[in-house]
Chains A and B, each alone.
Chain A
């Protein structure tokens, strides 16, 4: 049982909770303001390495950001996917919500949208993400998310290509979707 106002968020990211609470309870901000501020705090804090710049590098070592914000009163939504070289993902998502009729912008085009509205372009790489990337390469690119390709993605780095059907090696034929992510991988990063 609860009461209002309420701030609730995933994980023990309490600085984010407090930031949102300050906005909604002490500063007279809206629920949308509070969500933006709370998530922004997590982006600055790089919560758990799974939020904000400098974490969870992709195969090429680049960090990209996904974010969404929703106003239930109007049923408006703004979102960005694979946002590159801009740190303030939730704030860019809010601009998508409030300054366009669209819902989701992605990749370099989302970056260009952000830059046009005054956000700054900067690298999202950190010493930590560089090390994560280097360790991954040194570990034969394990784990990774490729299946049914050659060379065997469970043993080697790419580049990968489609195998000829008669040469597909057994360990490479992962048909069970439950093996897409092992429990250890879930601990390395998550959405």
Chain B
């Protein structure tokens, strides 16, 4: 699954997801990726979040929505992501879950669960090329 956040130089935000889901899923199964607030979410003047992982779990918690609400409450992107992940991990400690979060200033962060590390890709004017960051889960 790819989850993506783009914020332009004026702070206008878009987010999206695309996936082919789980291998061997029961036909008709849809994951969290196309569910607003679950696979991704954004609010103008605030920020956005997008996720990847076990969509059957994630769609029960609306983690992207939670992360954006966390930004509105004043959390940094990293703390906002960690809080949203922890809410799911409390119920499903083994589930593979990850979130990227960015605020409308261009600050970004990520958090994850159920794997060793989670890589994500970033580019902004501070970087001459795409940087792949990794967070420990």
Contacts and interface: CB of A to CB of B under 8 A. Distances in A.
Interface in B1-34: 1-34
Contact of B20 (A7, A20, A64): A64
A145 B29 contact: yes
Contacts, number: 323
A90 B19 CA distance: 9
A86 interface: no
A89 B30 contact: no
Interface string A1-44: 11111111111111011101100110000111011101110110
A103 interface: yes
Interface in B22-61: 22-36, 39-44, 46, 48, 50-58
Contacts of A6: 5-7, 102, 106, 108, 122-124
A117 B50 CA distance: 28
A188 to B, nearest CB: 5
B80 to A, nearest CB: 14
A10 B1 contact: yes
A132 to B, nearest CB: 6
A70 B40 contact: yes
A181 B122 contact: no
Contacts of A82: 28-30
Nearest to B125: A3
A32 B14 contact: yes
A33 to B, nearest CB: 8
17 contacts: A4-B105, A5-B106, A6-B108, A8-B121, A10-B100, A35-B5, A47-B2, A50-B1, A56-B19, A58-B21, A69-B14, A70-B15, A145-B24, A145-B26, A181-B56, A186-B96, A190-B54
B16 A70 contact: yes
A63 B19 CA distance: 10
B21 A178 contact: no
Contacts of B31: 66, 191
Interface string B84-122: 000000011111101010100111100000110011111
A68 B108 contact: no
A12 B18 contact: no
A190 B15 contact: no
Contact of A66 (B11, B19, B27, B42): B19
Nearest to B45: A72
A154 to B, nearest CB: 13
A58 B108 contact: no
A103 B15 CA distance: 15
A190 B25 CA distance: 10
A114 interface: no
Contacts of B23: 55-57, 132, 136, 188-189
A50 B56 CA distance: 16
Contacts of B73: none
B68 to A, nearest CB: 9
B36 A77 contact: yes
Contact of A72 (B26, B48, B118): B48
B24 A59 contact: yes
